[in-house]
Amino acid sequence: MGASAREVAELVGRAHRECWSVVLASTVRLTRDLDLAEDCAQEAFVRALRTWPDGIPDNPAGWLTTVARRLALDGLRRETTLRRKLPLLIEEPAGADDEDQPTDPLRLVFTCCHPALARDSQVALTLRLICGLTTREVAAGLLISEPTAAARITRAKKKIATAGIPYRIPADDELAARLDVVLTVVQLVYTAGHVAAGPELTRADLTGRAIELARMLVRLIPTEPEPLALLGLLLMTQARGDARLSDDGELVLLADQDRSRWDARLLGEGVKRATVALRRAETPGRFALQAAVAGLHVTAPSWERTDWVQVVRMYDAMLLSWPSPIVALNRAAAQSLVPGADLPAVLAELDALGKEPALRSYAYLPATRADVLARLGRAREAAAAYDEAVALTANGAEQRFLARRRAALPVAAPGR
């Protein structure tokens, strides 16, 4: 029995969210060309919209992969000279065949994160190809303009084509130079799903894909602490997922979450992974320190009894190895919660961070300022900061949350 056009559209949309990276990565391995593979993968989803009303395949991901690869083969056969010109080299392990490889998405990540590419291009290209994010979504995730994101993606593809960058997981002696950016990209994939652009708070396909990639990295380099720490961080964050929304679908911050709704299994594994990573590291890296912060939050008996002094110390250590404006913002937010904190001094830090180009479109900066201003009794300024945060937020649940916070402010006296 056939399906309605609406049912098919919903199914194809879900398949795109869940299977895009697998379909694309498998096609890249065949074509040795990113643009051709992307075109064929996109065409496969278009054909699904036309074909599936006559019958939904038992294995949608397999159907899409087969169609994309057949389209690619047809294209290669029509252009018999193309293969001689393709510089993207596939280095298959002994005994590899044309069947789907479970590490294909990870191989594509390493291709996108090759050191021959600029760091900002590595991240933009991976978000585009692995996550299937639109250029607009990539721009929002990286806090850059849409034309800038498009230019980075185009430059990266051209560089891969001209430099002959291989489609493979690098050898052991090459991993160190590639690992940090790969871990960064996996975290960004998770972040893009944790607070998604659009009406829904999360995109489970992106958070799930990031956790899957982190597990692959741990299996690939089991003794390295940073992949283990990242996996622990993602699992601890994922464990709180159900508690982030109220029964009526509204955002609930960590301070107000019902901790009995946290996933105990994911939480236990996350804490264990992070603990092992911290013990292995001679000097904790930035992912180990982020995991330590997450661990302090999830092991505290309550929000009020969180060890904020220790949280600030973790951010201080993070700033030494990773002097990022976002880390500085998180540190200032944590400092504002230390008992007896000097809130005017924290506000001065936040105002200084407002001059950082990377934070000019970052909604959490005015949101944090609004919270501190409200606690200082400066309601009129807090309201303006909440308005700014709402305007910068692309997520519907966050917009509603910030609007409620603004509405709850006391009526400001004239001049306040």
How buried is 264 (Cβ within 10 angstroms: 0-12 exposed, 13-18 middle, 19+ buried)?
A: exposed
- Taking the C-alpha atoms of residue 284 and residue 290, their distance in angstroms, rounded to an integer, is 10
Domain boundaries, the chain: 1-83, 104-222, 340-416
Backbone angles phi, psi at 49, to 5 degrees: -60, -35
**pTM of the entire predicted model:** 0.78
- Taking the C-alpha atoms of residue 132 and residue 126, their distance in angstroms, rounded to an integer, is 9
pLDDT in the model for residue 123? 81
Neighbours of 78 (CB within 10 A): 8
Query: Mean pLDDT in runs of 10 for the chain (416 residues)?
Result: 77 84 84 84 91 87 91 76 47 44 73 83 84 81 84 89 77 77 88 79 85 90 94 97 90 93 96 96 93 96 95 96 93 96 97 92 96 96 97 91 95 53
pLDDT in the model for residue 29? 80
Cα-Cα-Cα-Cα torsion 241, 247, 251, 256, nearest 10 degrees, comes to -80
For domain 1-83, the CATH architecture is: Orthogonal Bundle (1.10)
Report residue 46 as tokens: 């278009």
CATH number given to 340-416: 1.25.40
Q: Which residues pair with 245 in a beta bridge?
A: 251
- Taking the C-alpha atoms of residue 37 and residue 26, their distance in angstroms, rounded to an integer, is 9
pLDDT in the model for residue 197? 66
The answer to whether the CB of 228 falls within 8 A of the CB of 241 is no
pLDDT in the model for residue 196? 74
pLDDT in the model for residue 218? 92
Among candidate residues 322, 325, 358, 323, the one with its CA nearest the CA of residue 142 = 358
